Amino acid sequence: MMKIILITILSLVLCIGISAQSDEDILTIRDDELIAYIRIVDGKEEYVSFYGGEYVIHSMPIDKCFRYSNDWRYLAVFEEGGNTLEIFSLLSNRLIIEDILTDIQFNSCALAWMPDNKTILVPMDDLNFYRAYNFYFDGATLTRLPDINEPVYPILPNRLEFYFQSPNENIILYEACRDKETPNGTQFSCDVIIYDIVRDLTIEELDVDIRFLQGYDIDFVTDRPEYVSASLVGWSYDARYLAFCACRGDIFEVRGSIKIYDLQTDTYLTMASMHNFNFDKEFSWSDNSPILAYWLYAAVDVDADTSSLNELKFWNITNNSYTWVQGMFDVVSDQITWSPDSRAAAIIGKQRIDVEKPYEFSDAIYYPADLILIDTTTGEHTVIDTNVTQIITWRYLCDNPAPQDAEICTDD
């Protein structure tokens, strides 16, 4: 018998209040879109998706392990100590497969969906995904792939440790260390370079302190990583632009600027001002447009706690223009989730109207706050839900739909 995951549908109007005069269609979840997130209700996590003008509340298994795909299409359900894997379609609420995985045992509640939302890894022991069983799920069948028994790294000339893959599998940012001839003789030196694997070509050598790209330094006494900043580096969706913090200093005082290198024109853009830039929050590229979002510490001089108070800016690389989001927000997470067309972005936070009255997060584990949609052109925003802890995805409803979702994605 087909197993069904219980869901509840609530017909609600997705609008709590817009901060200023704005095109309301920009600050809504449109009929051809879906947003999924987690919120806290009565002290418990509630999994929510909104599409077609309706909220859907997904009741997850309470006696089994589960992992949802990053695009909120599929739910994998399994038992610790067992070897049976069930995969459901989250939209149609149908069981797709129930597969007994021979010679495999789930040693913990550990399973990972890869970014392609098709590859599934099951660790062989505890949480070590470097040794994992490997599967490919095409929406209908599950295929066993060769096991992963050790980390797989690209073969790069003189690579030390750090490397950062771009969306183009042939373009990589990494640290190359080698002997170099200098006026003072041969010296061992390390450089951060952009490298083309196919052409065996160094595209650009960056003038950068690698600590601010990887977010840490190594203590030479303890040989342990020490926090320096967030990982301040990011590729645009098409691998044309690399944004990075050209920073110097230490955790107590950081100086520098955000730079963007254009691989197509071999030129740099430098952020107009680094004033109040928040080095502890990662910046974020749009999923399909050359727009960069980054956080700033709120520029206020008050006695109240401002440790979580932030401002947000969007940098449109196409015309080198900036959009300053209206208002200041108490924000713990640096998560920014973009609408499918980049007209808006979603964050979790609380707008602070009175700068001397910080928002008191009700839960020091989940830090629930408002789910806020922001217009990336005007900086206006609206709250669409409260007590939210995580945004899972915001995508087109029927973009590359699962086969089981045909009924939902077929035009009337």
Res. 403: pLDDT tops 70: yes
The gap between the terminal CA atoms of the chain, to the nearest Å, is 29
Q: Greatest CA separation found in the chain?
A: 77
Length of the chain: 412
pLDDT, tens digit, for every residue of 209-238?
999 999 888 777 777 888 888 999 999 999
Q: Which of 12-16, 100-104, 200-204 has the highest mean pLDDT?
A: 200-204
Mean pLDDT for the stretch of residues 68-77: 95
What confidence tier does 24 reach under pLDDT thresholds 50, 70, 90? low
Res. 295: pLDDT tops 90: yes
Task: Give the pLDDT score at 20.
Answer: 42
What confidence tier does 411 reach under pLDDT thresholds 50, 70, 90? low
Percent of the chain surpassing pLDDT 70 = 91
Res. 7: pLDDT tops 60: no
Contacts of 315 by beta carbon, 8 Å cutoff, 6+ apart: 271, 291, 292, 293, 294, 321, 322
Task: Give the pLDDT score at 250.
Answer: 67
Task: Give the pLDDT score at 277.
Answer: 85
Mean pLDDT for the stretch of residues 325-339: 93
C-beta separation of 340 from 363 below 8 A: no
Res. 180: pLDDT tops 80: no
Task: Give the pLDDT score at 156.
Answer: 86
Mean pLDDT for the stretch of residues 313-325: 93
Q: Which of 17-26, 115-124, 179-188, 360-369 has the highest mean pLDDT?
A: 115-124
Q: How far apart are CA 97 and CA 2, in angstroms?
A: 10
Task: Give the pLDDT score at 11.
Answer: 37
What confidence tier does 137 reach under pLDDT thresholds 50, 70, 90? very high
Res. 316: pLDDT tops 80: yes
C-beta separation of 142 from 97 below 8 A: yes
Tokens 């095409």 sit at which residue?
138
Q: Where are the domains of the chain?
A: 7-25+43-151
C-beta separation of 372 from 352 below 8 A: no
Task: Give the pLDDT score at 273.
Answer: 62
Mean pLDDT for the stretch of residues 122-132: 82
Task: Give the pLDDT score at 307.
Answer: 85
- Between 71-75, 105-109, 112-116, 250-254, the lowest mean confidence (pLDDT) is in 250-254
Average pLDDT, the chain: 86
Task: Give the pLDDT score at 15.
Answer: 39
Nearest CA-CA partner of 351 in 391, 320, 308, 392: 308
Higher pLDDT, 36 or 188: 36
Q: Helix (H, G, I), strand (E, B), or coil: what is residue 407?
A: helix
What confidence tier does 32 reach under pLDDT thresholds 50, 70, 90? very high
What confidence tier does 248 reach under pLDDT thresholds 50, 70, 90? confident
Mean pLDDT for the stretch of residues 227-256: 86
Q: Is 0.85 surpassed by the pTM of this model?
A: yes
Tokens 């003072």 sit at which residue?
184
- Between 165-169, 187-191, 277-281, 346-350, the lowest mean confidence (pLDDT) is in 187-191
Q: How far apart are CA 97 and CA 405, in angstroms?
A: 15
Res. 29: pLDDT tops 60: yes
What confidence tier does 251 reach under pLDDT thresholds 50, 70, 90? low
Mean pLDDT for the stretch of residues 60-83: 93
Nearest CA-CA partner of 345 in 381, 397, 321: 381
What confidence tier does 3 reach under pLDDT thresholds 50, 70, 90? very low
Alpha-carbon dihedral angle through residues 172, 173, 174, 176, given to the nearest 10 degrees: 90
- Between 84-93, 138-147, 148-157, 313-322, the lowest mean confidence (pLDDT) is in 148-157
Res. 4: pLDDT tops 50: no
Q: How far apart are CA 369 and CA 367, in angstroms?
A: 7
Residue 132: C-alpha distances to residues 67, 111, 253 (Å)? 16, 9, 41
- Burial class of 115 by CB neighbour count within 10 A (0 to 12, 13 to 18, 19+): exposed
